[in-house]
Amino acid sequence: MPTQVKARYTNGKLEPLEPLNLTEGCLVTLSVSEEPEPESLLDMFKRIRASVPDDAWDDLPTDLVRNKKHYLYGHPKEDD
């Protein structure tokens, strides 16, 4: 029965990241696909920021932080 196991390639060898229930010396067939590096939080924010048109930022309310409950939940706005 086919089993998928993650492995790390180090110094020319594949090292499984979890135990394998195999008989010593048995032959196996490998299908290898490289996983992309996870995106950093900073890169994610940069990508999201770049996806928003520049003029859309001008439409945001200037009191968004102070009145977040108003904009999220409809609470009354706080005065200055």
Give tens-digit pLDDT for 22-59: 999 999 998 888 888 899 999 999 999 999 998 998 88
Q: Which helix (H) or strand (E) holds 44?
A: helix 41-51
Residue-level pLDDT at 74: 95
Mean pLDDT of 3-13: 91
Tell me the one-letter amino acid at 68.
K
Q: What are phi and psi of 40, to 5 degrees?
A: -70, 160
Q: Using the 8-state DSSP alphabet, how is residue 15 labeled?
A: E
